[in-house]
Chains A and B, each alone.
Chain A
Amino acid sequence: MKPTNINDPEYFHKVVDCQYACPAHTPVPEYIRLIAAERYTEAYMVNWESNVFPGVLGRTCDRPCEPACRRGRVEEKPVAICRLKRVAADNKGEVRHLMPQVPFPSNGKKIALIGGGPASLTVARDLAPLGYEIHLYDDQRKGGGMMRSQIPAFRLPESVLDEEVNYILDLGIHTHFNRYVQSMGEVLAQDYDAIFVGTGAPRGGDLPKLPGRQEGAANIHIGIEWLASVAFEHTSKIGKKVIVLGGGNTAMDCCRTSMRLGGESVTVVVRSPFSDMKASPWEIEDAQREGIVIRNCMPPKEFVVEGGRLKGILFEHVEAVYDENGRRSLVPTGEPDEFIEADDVLVAIGQENAFPWIERDLGIEFGKWEMPVVDPVTFQSTNPRVFFGGDAAFGPKNVITAVAHGHQAAISIDQYCHKKDLHERPAPAVNLFHQKMGIHEWMYDSYVVEDPRYKVPHADNTVALKDRRFEVELGFAPETGFMEAQRCLNCDVQTVFTESLCIECDACVDICPTSCITFTHNGEENDLRTRLNAPANLLSQDLYVSHQLPTHRVMIKDENVCLHCGLCAERCPTAAWDMKKYLYQVTKTCKVWDAAGSVLETV
């Protein structure tokens, strides 16, 4: 293998699994350490810089970081990264003065943002401080988009959402709420230098062809529409017996909301096996905790309507059969069909994009599935003035992805407005900070605690189910938050190897608790992976390979389960190993918070 180029910023970035997995590349270990140090405000700001909605995401994020967390490979469960973010948000002090301060001198450019969800709001935040005049359009009465309409208040209190939406709107954004944009042509006709479309995936899936759909229509609701109607207080009741169709997070929100609006017997029915459910495991767990029954392998056959009134649904029993290519098909088992009674049915079987308001003659090309053609790097459409982001760009994902899109779209818009090449993306900002304080002393808490993951406390069902606005998760208390934060392995503190200093004494090999380090003769990666001191079977994890050493061997480190405990560097007599904190920050249009500066100050 060739020696690893550690000057490639992505090499060490990849080692910070959580940050690498985060679409917005939030410097997770950095803010977790700040939480452990009870510096909640700074922890919040590190988040805010990256993901714009720490309070929202600390409650609702899809957490792509957690499955990636190295801790999950070392022991059973990853660090509760998401809920630690909430600890920062819950316990922070005043933050407004740390944010960009209005007014901003105008740069003479004017931007329209269609849709008031996380993608648009991110664009607004990134561009407003540069002096852009920003107009935000949304058909709802407040900003937030799907965060407001689809996430129930018992998971995300309105006050938290309002606070974080307002941090942005208060940057001098011109809002046009309760206004549904009906024509892109009209918008393009105005003097906007650029237009950003962040309208999400507003159309909920339906089962229009299922027998009884029309007859029972009065009691059959589309999940996301129903959730929005609840959020905006048009709906406050549901029947006692409820069936929710679908296995995603929307289905979970629907069933849990039903429990709070009068549902007594709420059943979620999924056509596929449990293992294929799209909902996050913790969402499923929370639903079950509230007494919701989930059935699987039961596709609906018919809405049963008697006397014009919905009686329930007839389900078929199937099983999943996989062919050689692993493709799944659902095959009837032959068991008799099952009828489940229902007063109301919520259909939560997916979302679709819909752009009825964009005329097809504006130079905005649409492709497969009626989706706009969008550059995956620049988020520019085929009309150079028009940019897409969030679910509107590539289909339904999640809030954190929308935020990531927003950052990149903002850069593109800024470059577009200044007539720069959109494909010349700014490099990430990286810093390596020395961590050594003494022989066995580092600036970070290098000791690896063995505690298993702490559980976030929940309010009792008897209280929680009475009020749809009552936040059911209580969040970590600061003390638990500290202990959970201590579980973080500090993967951003990198093991950096300097060949010229190594005397090949093996001290690092012997001390390494997880047998990451091997000195051996070089070879091809496939071969090397079989010759290391411990199995190196996780191919997604890199091997760190040194230049050749005097004994004609190389140092190979399997990054996979490195605990970043620093013992290799502590035992290295020549400082050939060093521990350096690596701060990787995605460059934004402007610096809203200097994480590196806060790092220097805090350490």
Chain B
Amino acid sequence: METVTITMKNPPGLFLEADNVSPDTFAGKKAADIAALHAFEGREQTSLGKYFEVSGNGGATAADTRIVVKGDVSRVKYIGMKMTAGEVVIENSPDMYTGAWMQGGKLLVKGSTNAFTGIGMKGGELVIEGDTGNYLGAAYRGDWRGMQGGIIRVRGNAGSDTGYFMNGGTIIVEGNTDVHVGTHMEGGTIIIKGNVPSKVGGQMVEGTIYVFGTIDVMMPGFKFVKDEEMEVDGYKGLFSLFHGDLGERHPKRKGQVVYGKLYQKI
């Protein structure tokens, strides 16, 4: 596997849209070609080389390419957007849309990310060691297909609207989240190891949410069903199962109504 290291030398005055920072575009390119790839600052089309120092060459394919992003990238958006394979490591904290519409490969953020991380994700593995903002693994505006596959793990806290319109894949938040977890959820799994203030599973049709901590206010459409012994992400214990959202439509399968499942650790 070839490694390309890009180091921020000349931070943008406004914000940089760097959707070309992805193993798919870097693959098969020499350092100089990578520096010539375009990026946008406002309406100005510039090149990655204006901001980053590029060293190392891309591998033959995306799967053979590893990108290490160094320096202050707090004003850089879209890193790892639509990547299908390979590896990206971001050593600090990038801005919005990190790993957006990701389809495969591995993306590791050692710092924190801003909003819209992993929106519309279809596959791959996204790990954030710090915190993240709102709309983690959510749908893009107006889309009814949120996260559809892959796995997102956040070691810190997340903002609001985690897993909005989610219909596949897994999101694990090891800290707390803000309001609205799994709103409009139609599938997939969300595991929150910390606390959630309220609006968990609102308008949820199908899918599973686990909350290890407290829920200050439960949605009125969630009805207690039973206690169950479960194993969830390495933890084994007793969980209360709630069915919901009773105000929302629910499909029938084999004569049975399928509800969204909300498990809360006892």
Whether chain B is bound by chain A comes out as: no
Which A residues form the contact surface with B (CB < 8 A)?
none
